[in-house]
Amino acid sequence: MNVEGPDRNFSVILLVLRRLRGPLILMVTLFALSVLGMALAPGPPDAEGRPTHLSLFHAFYFVSYTATTIGFGEVPEAFSDAQRLWAIVVIYLSVLAWAYLLKQAVTLMQDEALRRAVAALGFARRVRRLHHPFVLIAGFGETGAQLALALDREGIATVALDLDPKKIERAEMMEFVHPPVTLAADASDPNVLLAAGLRQPRCAAVAAMTDDDAANLAVTVTQGLLAPRLPTVCRAEHDATVANMAEFATTAIIDPSHVFQNDLALALEHPAAWRVRQILLDMPMDEIRTDRPPPRGRWIICGAGRLGLAAEAALRGSELELVVIDRAATDGGKHSEWITGDATQAEVLRRAGIEKAVGIVAATSNDIDNISILVAARRLNPSLYTIVRQNRRRNEALFAAFHYDLRVVPRHLVAAEALAWLRLPEIPAFLAWLANAPQELAHDLQETLLRLRRHGPLRNLKIAILPQTAPALWHALADDSGVTLERLLRSPSLRPEPLALRVLALEREGHWQPLPEPSTLLRRGDVLLVSGTAAALADLKEICGYEPTLYYVLEGRERPQTWLGRWWAKRAPEG
């Protein structure tokens, strides 16, 4: 389906007209025949006994109101019987032709292909009319919808494609401030992506979020060739796809089970860094119900699907005792212990040594099974650390009412990760650094962020000290070289209180310096990556951009605004 270009409107009209060509010609012919017959039929004789005739104009008038079944009663002259005879022919011919034309037109309107073409045209037009930067999301399943919602909350418009019209219709039921512009079409078709604005200047990023690796790869290839500069995040579930996608310089490739595996491994190995990650990526907090990190000891994994195996790999990396329970028999000897059976049965759990275990992962692809596994497990061993996988959005209420320690929602993982890459790629990079940083650093940062979060939800911001983004600070740094982070980051209303934010990293000449010291001197061209409350970030922007505020924050007094005031200030220095 080619839906790009302004001439498409016209060609849909042409398509309609071409389908109606037969009925139209029939209509014109019968109309002409009727008019001609009316004009030729002898009318009542005039005073000299010669038959009169309806003029063509009068005949056309009569046929017009007869054929359209309006049946207007006004007749130019009284009719003769010859004219009446022809009028009967006119009525039956033209009314039938008219009805046939209408019927064909209505049939055409219901034609699936035509309706799709019209929908695609409307879609392309609405995309062209988007006046703000938008993110193009291919695949509006659970993950894509989650990402669209998260972007919407940040005030970013989205364009969403999905093969399944039902998923597209769901967008109307969700709580969007600005609903995405949607089309039910195959995102792996380059023309569809072009219609969705792939090459438009306002297209800010592409997210390939379908549950089909081949389609995601097709989106990546299309973007790589047609819009190579766009940031792109892709979901991939197979290693082969990941390798193929990597050829096309995508910003990030997200494999849900890898994300989960890394997340779980991080939680076990480096709980503070894991906690910081949860905060900075703004994961929904009801996914973690306890403050304790996953304990070390004997773990039971129920369900050996991709996520279950990812959990197994993460835990195996931490050298824990592992038992895997799955309905299917073992596929090889690589796992430490494998029990074939239904993990919802207490007897099977007992066989897996549930009494000695410290934690359990319910990772089957069935939500009800997962819940009943945990219920059965906790009855046998109440102190278990429980990790549960939620598959379906519709089971949200069940999980909200259920006690668990950690809930894994693959679509949340992917959406949070994708959002982080789309919003600020520096944050995932920082988190990657933090995962290998000393425990104390991560722990301090976790404490700081948790303290800041008491004032409100945290946001992340990148601000560069450049004339466009921080004019006041840029100018101040010209003659005042003593501006440190500590001096700068103070609240303009409660000075000398520090701003409720934390500098995560500072970029200077292309190098990132994570968690800079408060005494670090700032220079022109530096880039700050900070996390803080919305109010603190707004204050920071004002400090960087508005000179009187900057002056007050640095000096602790108002800057004399007038020439006289400045002269006085110079004459009588503070004392």
Nearer to another protein, 11 or 191 (CB): 11
Strand duo 458-464 + 359-362: pairing? unpaired
Distance CA(75)–CA(79), nearest Å, equals: 8
State the nearest-atom distance from the C-beta of 74 to another protein, in Å: 14
Alpha helices for 41-80 (secondary structure H) = 56-67
The C-alpha R_g of the chain, in whole angstroms, comes to 36
Nearer to another protein, 57 or 567 (CB): 57
Nearer to another protein, 28 or 109 (CB): 28
State the nearest-atom distance from the C-beta of 5 to another protein, in Å: 13
Contacts of 141 (CB under 8 A, 6+ apart): 162, 167, 209, 210, 211, 411
* Paired residues of 138 in beta bridges: 161, 208
State the nearest-atom distance from the C-beta of 18 to another protein, in Å: 3
Nearer to another protein, 18 or 115 (CB): 18
Determine contact, residues 360/385, Cβ cutoff 8 Å: yes
Structure tokens given for 368: 């009800």
Instruction: Report the candidate in 272, 276, 334 with the shortest Cα–Cα distance to residue 505.
Output: 276
State the nearest-atom distance from the C-beta of 95 to another protein, in Å: 19
State the nearest-atom distance from the C-beta of 61 to another protein, in Å: 9
Nearer to another protein, 14 or 174 (CB): 14
Nearer to another protein, 60 or 176 (CB): 60
Instruction: Report the candidate in 241, 240, 242, 223 with the shortest Cα–Cα distance to residue 232.
Output: 223
Q: What is the DSSP string of 279-311?
A: HHTT--GGGB--SSPPPSSEEEEE--SHHHHHH
Residue 503 phi, psi (nearest 5): -80, 120
Determine contact, residues 407/135, Cβ cutoff 8 Å: no
State the nearest-atom distance from the C-beta of 303 to another protein, in Å: 56
Nearer to another protein, 55 or 481 (CB): 55
Structure tokens given for 573: 């220095």
Nearer to another protein, 17 or 240 (CB): 17
State the nearest-atom distance from the C-beta of 108 to another protein, in Å: 13
Distance CA(328)–CA(333), nearest Å, equals: 14
Which residues in this chain contact another protein in the complex, by CB under 8 A? 11, 14-15, 17-18, 21, 24-25, 28-29, 31-32, 35-36, 39, 55-58, 60
State the nearest-atom distance from the C-beta of 39 to another protein, in Å: 8
State the nearest-atom distance from the C-beta of 13 to another protein, in Å: 9
Segment (H or E) for 14: helix 7-19
Q: What is the DSSP string of 389-410?
A: E---GGGHHHHHTS--SEEE-H
Nearer to another protein, 32 or 249 (CB): 32
Helices and strands (DSSP H and E) totals, the chain: 24, 16
